[in-house]
Amino acid sequence: MPARVLILGGTAEGRELATLAQAAGFGIVTSFAGQTPDPRRPPGEVRVGGFGGADGLQEYLRNQNFSALVDATHPYAVQISAQAAKACEGLGLARMMLLRPPWQAERGDRWIEVADDAEAAATLPGLAKRVLLTVGRRALAAYADCHGITFFVRLVNPPELMPLAGELILARGPFSVDDERALLAEHDIDGLVSRQSGGEATYGKITAARERGIPVVLIRRPKAPPGQSVHSVAAALDWLKLAAV
Ligand SMILES: NC(=O)c1ccc[n+]([C@@H]2O[C@H](COP(=O)([O-])OP(=O)(O)OC[C@H]3O[C@@H](n4cnc5c(N)ncnc54)[C@H](OP(=O)(O)O)[C@@H]3O)[C@@H](O)[C@H]2O)c1
């Protein structure tokens, strides 16, 4: 029987790890939250939907006889990561976080780093008037009191309600630098709000903002739960080969 591994997914890295680990002989199950209607499916089994908190996840892990868990969720998905930490600790199950490295500022970047969306919103007045907002659906309400700013809100799926003055841009990454340059020019964007996501898929907007000389309000990453982490898919696979037996 191949060692069974649960990958908490929703990221390109999770999908890549599933592909490599399945090819290496592991029995892979990838879990999605179910927020994206048609996620790109990795090889191996796929399950969709929440587990019902840390207790539900613990129960699921116990019943499914997993040898290890890789938390490959997005760095801002703090709830599921905390629940995975608790569930694995309760079972004594091996857990590894696969966390893509954060972007590093380069010469010409005009980053304003802030703690959260509330601080980002407070920073915008006086800084920019036409803002590309790439912070996710649930964060939009934090910007509702930013008057005099036109927001270009980029999301994968439409929100139930658009709480901001401006335009919705529905699109799913990866986004090339050329496309991002064109987008900033088309809408005459003079400010960007982004999470410190790291990785290549959404870095194009950071490059395009640097070239355009516009400020980027960058929301710092939340703290990851305690535990081991790796920064690359290759390192996660190496860990699996030792830990998941
Ligand atoms: N946050 C982002 O910016 C972002 C960006 C790109 C992709 N994603 C992906 O989208 C998913 C949801 O993100 P989020 O920020 O809503 O997460 P979250 O706030 O940490 O989690 C909210 C709830 O969603 C469920 N959940 C989250 N990820 C799950 C997974 N991989 N498998 C099964 N259930 C999951 C859990 O429900 P129960 O408590 O019922 O178990 C969790 O309590 C994550 O898988 C993440 O990798 C997030």
How does pLDDT run across 44-98, given as a tens digit for each residue? 999 999 999 999 999 999 999 999 999 999 999 999 999 999 999 999 999 999 9
In the predicted model, what is the mean pLDDT of the chain?
96
- 74 CB less than 6 Å from ligand 1? yes
Task: Please give the number of the atom of ligand 1 that sits closest to the Cα of 8.
Answer: 31
* Ligand 1 nearest atom to the CA of residue 14, by list position: 47
Q: Please tell me the class of the 4-101+223-243 domain.
A: alpha beta
Q: How confident is the model at residue 38 (pLDDT cuts 50, 70, 90)?
A: confident
pLDDT at 14 over 80: yes
DSSP 103-157: P---TT--EEEESSHHHHHHH-TTT-SEEEEES-GGGGGGGTT-TT-EEEEEESS
| pLDDT value of residue 35 | 86
Tell me what pLDDT residue 42 has.
96
Q: Say whether domain 111-219 belongs to CATH 3.40.50.300.
A: no
| pLDDT value of position 40 | 85
Domain boundaries, the chain: 4-101+223-243, 111-219
Residue among 15, 69, 79, 100 to mutate when testing ligand 1 (max atoms within 8 A of CB): 79
Mutate to test the pocket of ligand 1, among 73, 194, 202 (most ligand atoms within 8 A of CB): 73
Q: What is the pLDDT of residue 175?
A: 96
Least confident of 91-100, 156-165, 208-217: 156-165
What separation in angstroms does the CA of 55 have from each of 51, 69, 203? 8, 15, 36
Give nearest CA residue, ligand 1 atom 38. Answer: 50
Whether residue 124 is predicted with pLDDT greater than 80 in this model: the reply is yes
Q: What pLDDT score was predicted for residue 132? A: 98
Whether pLDDT at 245 is above 90: no
pLDDT digits (tens, 9 = 90+) for 161-180: 899 999 999 999 999 999 99
Rounded to two decimals, what is the model's pTM? Answer: 0.92
Here the tokens at position 46 are 């796929």
Q: What is the pLDDT of residue 148?
A: 94
Identical topology for domains 4-101+223-243 and 111-219: yes
Q: In the chain, what percentage of residues exceed pLDDT 70?
A: 100
CA distances for 166 relative to 112, 148, 187, angstroms: 23, 10, 11
Mean pLDDT of 150-166: 93
- How confident is the model at residue 7, as a pLDDT? 98
Residue 39: predicted pLDDT: 80
What DSSP designation does 212 have?
H
Instruction: Determine if ligand 1 sits within 6 Å of the CB of residue 60.
Output: no
Is 43 a pocket residue for ligand 1 (Cβ < 6 Å)?
A: no
Residue 67: CA count within 13 A, CB half-sphere: 15
Which residues touch 92 (CB under 8 Å, ≥6 apart)?
none
User: What pLDDT score was predicted for residue 61?
Assistant: 97
Which residue's C-alpha comes closest to atom 6 of ligand 1? 74
SS3 173: coil
Give the count of alpha carbons within 13 A of 195, CB side only.
20
pLDDT confidence of residue 3: 95
Average pLDDT over residues 36-44: 86
Angle (CA) 163 152 192, round 5°: 115
Q: Is 194 in the pocket of ligand 1 (CB under 6 A)?
A: no
Res. 17: pLDDT tops 80: yes
